[in-house]
A and B are shown apart, each in its own frame.
Chain A
């Protein structure tokens, strides 16, 4: 059974760096066919894809946020970590991690519950 769960701070100050951890189970993040992505959703707004890491450590980032994002994995802990620098109030959102469908196509078939991050001084 595949599960994912996000963890991290609920409140960050403007200009700070956000670090979120996705703890996953039920699959091995060890081949190029497997991946974990991060998606966010500001309150009342649409979903926005942020980043994706494959089991072979290949990484993809949203072009609009690429300069601020870093995605890494620690397979010994079953963790995928997203860092976002220079946080701003507009980055207030629920942040989800999700399992990429195994194979050659990137859609997300299992999602974490999400974690709300508020950016405020």
Chain B
């Protein structure tokens, strides 16, 4: 099975900060990676697919990059609505593993 890790597990930041979250895969997943945002008590929301494609309706301050085994999600200027937990998910194999999540907190 492909294992996914994320760092950091928790991130404290100010509104307006540039924030970067890293996701690593245990083997090459090419660009078969998605990013989701989840707020407490709600379902995850798709942000990015195929590592760097922005889902329709998602603000352009979100961007994704990477390929192979290392990926990043960047929020260019953190907004109050962005405080949430972010998950990566690989879809290279028929075991669609999620990462453990990164919680973005208000500093």
The answer to whether the Cβ of A19 comes within 8 Å of any Cβ in the partner chain is: no
In the complex, chain B residues 61-107 whose Cβ is within 8 Å of any chain A Cβ: 87, 89, 91, 94-101
Q: B101's contact among A46, A63, A108, A113, by CB below 8 Å, is which?
A: A46
Closest B residue to A62 using CB positions: B95
| CB within 8 Å for A101 and B97 given contacts A106-B91, A109-B55 | no
Residue with the highest number of chain B CB atoms closer than 10 Å, among A37, A39, A46, A101 = A46
Which of A46, A63, A105, A107 has the most chain B CB atoms inside 10 A of its CB?
Answer: A107
Partner of A46, one of B49, B91, B95, B99: B99
How many A-B contacts at CB < 8 Å in the complex?
58
The prevalent SS among residues of B at the interface is: loop
Residues of chain B within 8 A (CB-CB) of A106 are 91, 96
Contacts A46-B100, A49-B95 hold; do A107 and B49 have CB atoms under 8 A apart? yes
Does any Cβ of B come within 8 Å of A14's Cβ? Answer: no
Q: Which B residues are in CB contact (< 8 Å) with A39?
A: 98
CA distance A47 to B6 in the complex (A): 13
Q: Which residue of the partner chain, among A48, A49, A107, A114, contacts B46 with CB atoms under 8 Å?
A: A107
Known: A47-B89, A60-B95, A107-B96. 11 other contacts (CB 8 A): A46-B87, A46-B99, A46-B100, A49-B95, A60-B94, A64-B1, A105-B32, A107-B49, A108-B36, A108-B89, A114-B43
30 contacts between A and B (CB under 8 A): A39-B98, A46-B87, A46-B98, A46-B99, A47-B36, A47-B38, A47-B44, A47-B87, A47-B89, A47-B98, A47-B101, A49-B96, A49-B97, A60-B94, A63-B1, A64-B1, A96-B44, A98-B43, A105-B32, A105-B49, A105-B91, A107-B46, A107-B89, A107-B96, A108-B34, A108-B36, A109-B49, A111-B43, A111-B45, A113-B43
